[in-house]
Amino acid sequence: MSNKPFVKFGLLILLILISVAAYTQAPADDICGRWQSEEKNLIVDVYKQGDNYQAKIIWFNAGNDKLMHEWIDKNNPNKALQTRKILGMNVLSGLVYEPSSNSWEDGMIYDAKHGKDWNASAYIDKSGLLKVKGYWHFKIFGRTMTFARVCTTPELK
């Protein structure tokens, strides 16, 4: 009697297990990826750095003739940062996943339009939308932005 059927079956099971492991990610990493704002004028890339989650601007539409790569952080209160580019800038940092609430907490979000930092939290709702809240010390004093996951980035202009 040959062992070939058992070897083939074992290889099949091994391949299935490897495939499942490759596509299974921790719930904490569900936030990672590209997200477009509800207004469709901003795309951020959320990624993990160490134990924290961050986001950087990878595309935006300012609604005028000025090109994305020309926009600088002119409203930053730190004069040394006023010449940095908006495109590619980290705007969200320090988020930590909280398994008990299935949310990301204790982050900071930077508002380049006004040059201000705010406390930040985030969660993914039942429909798969990312809700990011910027607030001042207490969540009731804040604003929530909604993002949808995207796979592509509009043409860079």
CA 20/CA 9 separation, integer angstroms: 17
Model confidence at 8, in pLDDT bands (50, 70, 90)?
Answer: low
- Is there a contact between 156 and 59 (Cβ–Cβ < 8 Å)? yes
Give the amino acid at 113.
Answer: K
Mean pLDDT of the chain: 85
Per-residue pLDDT at 109 exceeds 50: yes
Q: Encode pLDDT of 65-94 as tens digits.
A: 678 888 999 999 999 999 999 999 999 999
To which residue do tokens 């796979």 refer? 151
* pLDDT value of position 16: 47
37 - beta bridge partners? 147
Tell me which CATH code domain 28-150 carries: 2.40.128.520
Domain boundaries, the chain: 28-150
